[in-house]
């Protein structure tokens, strides 16, 4: 079989007319005959581009309100016949089936329609039948037929034509077939996901067409690609290209800052917050967040839930950090922050985070709901004789918002809406508590009058004993241990208040 095939006839049927006029004119310049359907036929003819209508080939009109136009043996036979198989050659001659060497098709905008309306009738009408069938037929027969299934591939296809003077070779056709199946599989996945909102069929179906190769993965010897559209999440205003580890930390930072509505700054290191503070001004919030652990803050990720003003920019400029994320920047502040060439500056966009999480594990994928639960005062169960004061209650809510974002086992110590100590990623909750106390003391914080939050229950009373000795006056924890009463009794004996939420916040 000759690897090079000259395109003589093209079938064009597109929903979006973007770019199709220029493409069609190029095809005509190569002497290629165009067959077209309905709206596409009218569009081309109105632009002075001659085309042959589908109806003139099939001798059948478009029926059922346009639902059936191309589904005919004379069309699919012309695409699917194998030029090197005698029986196929006999069939196309016997039934006078015109050959089709190129199929240019796009699909009804199902995904955009779902995003724009809840009208099921309108959504169902955007499930493409003819287009998806044409794509699959042409891609299956790539040995003989070229398929172009997206306007984004028009230029690449024209480059192939120019390179080969109107011919295509097998490797190019196979490449474009792969691109076409990428389009069709994504399309079917979106349709399934729409129906599965009610069907609840247990199947893992995810599809993202946008890919961004990373410089490398978690380590330089690991390859990595991000699938998604980062432009929806933030706008990069300055700095070098983000890395795999940068994106992981940015994700942690954005999820954490979403817990707060008052001016708050958080500093993240290896996905763990090492400094968090809420204050009346963003500058004060940053200075107190930095004070939590100025050592770990070096080279970290800083996020603020407001606008960066020049006075804060001056303070930020004194510290080496990898990334700054904020809702906005005053011009003078931004110009100052841009003084470091590689410093990454991101402006966070308004968007909704996904509510599902996935993790590849063993030979499959784990899916779970994201932990979006943040307990408020109304959710507290008071289990000790002493109830926390309102100031302590506010601090417990603040502490519980932070503890869910640290790696388990974790303990946080809070005072005056400021993280003063944290222990995370420990195999023992006691070790996590001791780490939190030692950190607080090492940076000059007085733990007397602080409150403590734990991501999970206390299996023994040892944690509240150690916390009490450090001056902790109020505790928040999920509860659920068979020995909860031991911790409660200790708190009662030492005038410590404790609340239970009933919600665990493990993070691995």
The pLDDT tens digits of the residues spanning 15-44 come to 999 999 999 999 999 999 999 988 899 999
pLDDT at site 490 = 97
SS3 241: coil
Nearest residue to 1 (alpha-carbon basis) of 88, 73, 76, 64:
88
| Bridge partners, residue 308, by sequence | 329
DSSP 65: G
pLDDT at site 37 = 87
Tokens describing residue 256:
């954490």
pLDDT at site 423 = 97
Cα distance between residue 113 and residue 94, in whole Å: 43
Contact predicate 346/329, CB 8 Å? no
Q: Output the DSSP codes for 331-363.
A: HHHHHHHTTSTT-EEEEE---PPPSEEEEEETT
Contact predicate 436/413, CB 8 Å? yes
Q: Output the DSSP codes for 70-139.
A: S-SHHHHHHHH--TT-HHHHHHHHHTTPPP--EEEE----HHHHHHH---HHHHHHTS-SHHHHHHHHHH
pLDDT at site 73 = 87
Nearest residue to 53 (alpha-carbon basis) of 30, 77, 72:
72
pLDDT at site 2 = 56
| Cis peptide bond upstream of 99, omega within 30 | no
pLDDT at site 54 = 87
Q: pLDDT tens, 201-260?
A: 999 999 999 999 999 999 999 999 999 999 999 999 999 999 999 999 999 999 999 999
Residue 332 CB coordination number (10 Å): 13
Cα distance between residue 213 and residue 193, in whole Å: 26
The catalytic residue positions are 140, 270
User: 136-172 burial by CB neighbour count: b if 16+ within 10 A, else e?
Assistant: bbbbebbebbbbbbbbebbeebbebbeeeebbbbeeb
pLDDT at site 1 = 46
Nearest residue to 192 (alpha-carbon basis) of 208, 207, 205, 209:
205
Cα distance between residue 114 and residue 332, in whole Å: 42
Q: Output the DSSP codes for 467-494.
A: HHHTT--EEEE----TTHHHHHHHHHHT
Cα distance between residue 237 and residue 170, in whole Å: 43
Cα distance between residue 257 and residue 325, in whole Å: 10
Q: For the purposes of burial, counting CB atoms within 10 Å of the CB of 95, is it exposed (0-12), middle (13-18) or buried (19 or more)?
A: exposed
Tell me the percentage of the chain whose pLDDT exceeds 70: 100
**What does each C-alpha distance from 233 to 112, 213, 265 come to in angstroms?**
19, 17, 19
Cα distance between residue 71 and residue 76, in whole Å: 7
Cα distance between residue 449 and residue 76, in whole Å: 78
Tokens describing residue 290:
């930095």
Residue 506 CB coordination number (10 Å): 13
Can you list the pairs that 84-89 forms with residues at least 24 positions away whose Cβ atoms lie under 8 Å? 84/1
Contact predicate 212/288, CB 8 Å? no
SS3 37: coil
CA dihedral in degrees (396, 397, 398, 401; nearest 10)? 120
CA dihedral in degrees (50, 89, 14, 114; nearest 10)? 170
Contact predicate 268/253, CB 8 Å? yes
Residue for token digits 């914080």?
Answer: 445
Residue 271, C-beta contacts closer than 8 angstroms, at least 6 positions apart: 248, 249, 251, 252, 407
Output the furthest CA–CA distance in the chain (Å, rounded).
98
The H or E element that residue 225 is part of is strand 225-227
Question: Which residues of the chain have a pLDDT value below 70?
Answer: 1-2
**What does each C-alpha distance from 281 to 117, 321, 397 come to in angstroms?**
41, 21, 20
Contact predicate 304/284, CB 8 Å? no
């Amino acid at each position: 079989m000759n690897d090079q095939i000259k395109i003589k006839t093209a079938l064009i049927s597109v929903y979006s007319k973007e770019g199709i006029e220029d493409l069609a004119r190029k095809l005509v310049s190569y002497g290629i005959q165009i067959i077209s359907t309905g709206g596409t036929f009218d569009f081309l003819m109105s632009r002075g581009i001659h085309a042959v209508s589908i109806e003139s080939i099939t001798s059948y009109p478009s029926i059922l309100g346009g639902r059936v136009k191309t589904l005919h043996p004379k069309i699919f036979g012309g695409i699917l016949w194998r030029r090197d198989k005698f029986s196929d050659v006999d069939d196309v001659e016997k039934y006078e089936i015109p050959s089709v060497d190129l199929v240019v098709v796009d699909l009804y905008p199902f995904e955009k329609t779902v995003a724009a309306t809840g009208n099921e009738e309108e959504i169902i009408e955007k499930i493409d039948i003819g287009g998806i069938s044409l794509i699959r037929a042409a891609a299956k027969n790539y040995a003989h037929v070229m398929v172009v299934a997206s306007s984004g591939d028009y230029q690449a296809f024209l480059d192939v034509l120019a390179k080969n003077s109107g011919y295509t070779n097998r490797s190019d056709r196979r490449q474009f077939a792969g691109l076409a199946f990428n389009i069709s599989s994504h399309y079917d996945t979106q349709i399934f996901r729409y129906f599965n909102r009610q069907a609840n069929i247990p199947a893992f179906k995810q599809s993202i067409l946008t890919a961004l190769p990373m410089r490398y993965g978690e380590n330089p010897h690991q390859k990595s690609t991000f699938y998604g559209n980062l432009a929806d999440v933030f706008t990069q205003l300055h700095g070098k290209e983000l890395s795999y580890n940068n994106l992981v930390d940015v994700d942690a930072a954005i999820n954490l800052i979403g817990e707060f509505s008052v001016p708050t700054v958080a500093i993240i290191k290896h996905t763990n917050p090492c400094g968090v503070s809420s204050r009346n001004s963003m500058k004060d919030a940053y200075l107190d967040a930095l004070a939590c652990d100025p050592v770990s803050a070096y080279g970290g990720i800083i996020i603020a839930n407001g606008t960066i003003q020049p006075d804060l920019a001056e303070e930020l400029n004194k510290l080496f950090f990898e990334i700054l994320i904020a809702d906005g920047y005053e011009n003078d502040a931004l110009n100052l922050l841009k003084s470091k060439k590689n410093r990454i500056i991101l402006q966070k966009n308004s968007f909704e985070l996904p509510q599902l999480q996935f993790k590849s594990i063993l030979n499959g994928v784990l899916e779970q709901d994201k932990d979006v639960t943040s307990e408020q005062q109304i959710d507290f169960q008071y289990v000790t004789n002493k109830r926390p004061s309102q100031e302590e209650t506010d601090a417990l809510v603040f502490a519980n918002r932070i503890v869910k974002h640290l790696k388990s086992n974790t303990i946080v110590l809070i005072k005056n809406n400021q993280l003063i100590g944290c222990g995370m990623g420990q195999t023992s909750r006691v070790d996590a508590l001791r780490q939190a106390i030692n950190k607080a003391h090492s940076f000059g914080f007085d733990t007397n009058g602080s409150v403590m939050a734990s991501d999970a229950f206390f299996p023994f009373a040892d944690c509240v004993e150690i916390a009490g000795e450090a001056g902790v006056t109020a505790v928040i924890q999920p509860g659920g241990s068979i020995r909860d009463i031991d911790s409660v009794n200790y708190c009662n004996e030492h005038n410590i208040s404790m609340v239970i939420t009933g919600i665990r916040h493990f993070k691995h």
